[in-house]
Amino acid sequence: MKAWTGPEVPTLPGAAGRLLVHDTALESLVPVEPDAGEARLYVCGITPYDATHLGHANTYVAFDLLQRVLLDCGSRVTFTQNVTDVDDPLLERADATGVDWRELAADQVQLFRDDMTALRVIPPQHYIGAVESIPSVVELIESLKHTGAVYQVDDPEYPDWYFEVRRAPGFGRLSGLAGDDAVEVFGERGGDPDRAGKRDVLDCLVWRLERPGEPAWDSPLGRGRPGWHIECTAIALQYLGVHFDVQGGGSDLVFPHHEMCAAEGAVATRQPFAKAYVHAGMVGLHGEKMSKSKGNLVLVSRLRASGGDPMAIRLALLAHHYRSDWEWTVVDLPRAQERLDAWRAGVARTVAPAAQPLVAAVREVLRTDLDAPAALGLIDAWAAQPGDDPDAGAQVGRAVDALLGVLL
Ligand code: 5CA
Ligand code: ZN
């Protein structure tokens, strides 16, 4: 499907270097070392049943920062993102509101595109819906079936297709979850531990046979629709290939979603699915994770409509380290606006402190697990200091644009 309009990304002098990011599987920092200079990035996209909230925005800005730092290190980046445009929560919301599920998805995806454009998030080269990827999902399930890792549950009415998690040798290593803890989280996040007829309680649905009133597509597996995890596994493998550099998303996707993708991918290709798994923290509101299902949302579109400068919204998000969990409060936006004003005044000066030492220091903190709060502090200090370089303002403006995506 169509992505969104991308911002120009300036190239800065004196680049080259490497990015270290925190890998959830190894619980340590690892270098991103792209094959042949091309970093391959997959970031899980939205389930389009409600508009983009600040939690989503935080996750997509975090991975945009990652992409910008990779570009600045001299890599090319191939970026793929999905849209879960057919799944239970979307169909349930469509039913509850009497809107056609396709229309609901199309409207919400368009809102998301507008929000991403406003926030200056670089679009993916491949923006792929679950519906349009059904042929590759079916092909992947068929190939897993040949390995014996996919089976039909013992249910005479709906013998749906499941992936057997124990076939993946490293299952559980990404999240570190096992036993009852794993079962509990699986049940909370879209899994069906109580479904009868499975080989293992954690086995995940890959193809759901048609139920009355639900959308379904013909396939050799029977008429039905894809399960959630297999969608991302298939899209990532199709557009990025095996053993790509980073799979990303919010930390609520570590288990079961990314664990299942990693397991399915590894069984299908006999290679590790991604080289690193990177996760952004959760944004909360009033003591709880911001979520569409709970309805405790601050929508990016609403903040924009009420006059919020998208660059201030972006700065408000970048003020928190991408891995930390934090709460949105009424002071976040005015504080970010103040900072934005100070930076704008700083770069508009006729003379300012030299840009080069600042850019080097900002690069250094960003290349070490994307420490945006440290970068923001360095720029605050630069903007507050007097200097005598007439070119510095423009140079710093370009660096803030290229590295942080903030247009001053
Ligand atoms: N379509 C699936 C991924 S394949 C999905 O999780 N969609 S979503 O719309 O629920 O979430 C989209 C992205 O936003 C995910 O990466 C998720 O981890 C992230 N996200 C959701 N809520 C929050 C939150 N409160 N804070 C930070 N990130 C969040
Ligand atoms: Zn996903």
Give residue-wise pLDDT tens across range 347-356: 999 999 999 9
Q: Phi then psi for 86, rounded to 5 degrees?
A: -150, 120
Answer yes or no: is pLDDT of 30 > 80. Answer: yes
Q: What is the pLDDT of residue 161?
A: 98
In ligand 1, the atom with minimum distance to the C-alpha of 282 is 26
pLDDT above 70 coverage of the chain, percent = 100
Mean residue pLDDT across the chain: 97
**Residue 360 CB contacts under 8 Å (≥ 6 apart), including other chains:** 14
Q: What is the pLDDT of residue 193?
A: 98
Interval 241-249 mean pLDDT: 98
321, 373 contact by CB (below 8 A)? yes
Q: What is the pLDDT of residue 296?
A: 86
Q: Phi then psi for 77, rounded to 5 degrees?
A: -130, 125
Tracing tokens 């590894």 back to the chain, one arrives at 266
Q: How much distance in Å is there from the Cα of 232 to the middle of ligand 2?
A: 5
Residue 157: pLDDT band (50, 70, 90) is very high
Q: Count of alpha carbons within 13 Å of 329, Cβ hemisphere only?
A: 6
Q: How far apart are CA 204 and CA 260, in angstroms?
A: 8
33-49 pLDDT, tens per residue? 999 999 999 999 999 99
Residue 388: pLDDT band (50, 70, 90) is very high
Termini Cα distance of the chain: 31
CB-proximal residues (5 Å) to ion ligand 2: 44, 232
Q: How much distance in Å is there from the Cα of 326 to the middle of ligand 2?
A: 22
Answer yes or no: is pLDDT of 15 > 80. Answer: no
Residue nearest to atom 4 of ligand 1 (CA): 44
Q: How much distance in Å is there from the Cα of 47 to the middle of ligand 1?
A: 8
256-295 pLDDT, tens per residue? 999 999 999 999 999 999 999 999 999 999 888 988 778 8
Q: What is the pLDDT of residue 50?
A: 86
Q: How far apart are CA 75 and CA 35, in angstroms?
A: 10
Q: Which ligand is nearest to the Cα of residue 248, counting in written order?
A: 1
Interval 211-235 mean pLDDT: 97
**Residue 157 CB contacts under 8 Å (≥ 6 apart), including other chains:** none
Q: What is the pLDDT of residue 41?
A: 98
Q: How far apart are CA 217 and CA 219, in angstroms?
A: 6
Total count of residues recorded for the chain: 408
313-366 pLDDT, tens per residue? 999 999 999 999 999 999 999 999 999 999 999 999 999 999 999 999 999 999
Q: How much distance in Å is there from the Cα of 261 to the middle of ligand 2?
A: 8
Structural domains of the chain in order of their starting residue, each with its CATH number: 19-305 (3.40.50.620)
Torsion sign (Cα): 236, 238, 240, 244? positive
Which pTM was predicted?
0.97
Q: Roughly what angle, to the nearest 10 degrees, separates helices 101-118 and 54-72?
A: 50
Instruction: Please choose, from the candidates 44, 55, 114, 43, the residue with its C-alpha nearest in 3D space to the C-alpha of residue 293.
Output: 55
Distances (CA, A) of 48 to 4, 54, 91, 318: 15, 15, 10, 24
Residue 113: pLDDT band (50, 70, 90) is very high
Residues with CB under 6 A from ligand 1: 44-47, 55-56, 58-59, 82, 84, 232, 249-250, 252-253, 280, 282-283, 289-291
Q: What is the pLDDT of residue 16?
A: 78
